[in-house]
Amino acid sequence: MVCSGFTRLAAACVCLWGLLALPAQAQTEAEVDLALVVAVDISFSMDTDEQALQREGFAQAFRSKLVHDAIRGGMLGRIAVTYMEWAGSPDQKVIIPWTVLDNSESLMAFADRIASTPLRRAQRTSISSAIDFSVKLLEESGLNATRRVIDVSGDGPNNQGRLVIEAREAALAKGITINGLPIMLRQPGYLDIPDLDVYYKDCVIGGQGSFTVPVLERDQFIEAIKTKILLEVANLMPEQPLISRIQSPPRTNCMAGEMQWRDRWSN
């Protein structure tokens, strides 16, 4: 099964990370192995069941012993994470501000905050604005991070704000990595595209070690999120085909979402 494959892969990644990592050193609190923005789609294209699964997946990820072990195995033994939600270009909201995670208690508390936040939904889909907002969060965090990563999850293409490839390139120019979680649980509608995983690989993700974890079935959802967070924390990349890496040249139109919106609504 796919889920068991994810779990075996995750465990192997933690073991390898533990072998490669140096002992943790005493550093100031602002120094972390990873500064991670979790950027979660809450547009109306996500039904409430999908949103609940997405929320539970991230909560379980930060409760996972594998993730705890990966954090402890880092050079500094701590990461910083902020959890934000996004939809259209004017709608980005920080749900949990920057939080240093360095022990089981802090991770469990972070997971509990994710799980206890009420669900909300909003209009349109602006991946570009989510990336821009995430870059600002990283730039203004005050953290000295070895790696800076934006984790974008969503179920549709960019259809508002500036072009997603422009936002991506601006983030990459600052040394930020963007990873993706394309959610593909339903048949494409009039504002969807059939190969969202390809769109994410060609138009959204980028930077050193970037990858996507497509979610194709509901029973994959939680395990895929847990695996993705683990790999981001451990800074390891798996082999295909479970998780797809960025490929070139582009195979999809990075303006597909904007064109669909314009054709339907003429704006």
Q: What is the pLDDT of residues 223-240, one digit of tens each?
A: 999 999 999 999 876 555
Residue ranges of domains in the chain: 2-265
C-alpha span between 201 and 7 (Å, rounded): 23
C-alpha span between 80 and 63 (Å, rounded): 15
Q: For 22, which DSSP code?
A: P
pLDDT, position 10: 54
Residue 74 tokens read as 């880092």
Specify the CATH number of the domain 2-265: 3.40.50.410
DSSP notation for 201-265 = IIII-BSTT-EE--B-SGGGHHHHHHHHHHHHHHT--PPTTTSEEP-SS--S-TTHHHHHHHHHH
Beta bridge partners of 80: 35, 100
**Using an 8 Å Cβ cutoff, are 193 and 199 in contact?**
yes
**Using an 8 Å Cβ cutoff, are 51 and 42 in contact?**
yes
pLDDT, position 210: 94
C-alpha span between 10 and 240 (Å, rounded): 14
C-alpha span between 199 and 81 (Å, rounded): 26
Q: What is the mean pLDDT of the chain?
A: 85
Question: What is the spatial order of strands in the sheet that 144-154 belongs to?
Answer: 92-101, 79-86, 31-41, 144-154, 177-182, 211-212, 244-245
Tell me the pTM.
0.85
pLDDT, position 252: 81
Higher per-residue pLDDT: 177 or 246: 177
Q: Dump strand ranges (E) for the chain.
A: 31-41, 79-86, 92-101, 144-154, 177-182, 211-212, 244-245
Higher per-residue pLDDT: 186 or 94: 94
pLDDT reading at 181 higher than 80: yes
CA-CA distances (angstroms) from residue 105 to 137, 208, 227, 254? 24, 31, 21, 42
- Give the residue-averaged pLDDT of 41-62: 92
Task: State percent of the chain over pLDDT 90.
Answer: 67
- Give the residue-averaged pLDDT of 138-157: 96
pLDDT, position 50: 87
Residue 37 tokens read as 């923005």
Q: What is the pLDDT of residues 1-23, one digit of tens each?
A: 444 555 555 555 544 444 333 33
pLDDT reading at 190 higher than 60: no
pLDDT, position 9: 52
C-alpha span between 20 and 39 (Å, rounded): 29
Beta bridge partners of 37: 82, 150
Radius of gyration of the chain (CA): 17
**Using an 8 Å Cβ cutoff, are 150 and 131 in contact?**
yes
pLDDT, position 185: 86
Beta bridge partners of 40: 85, 153
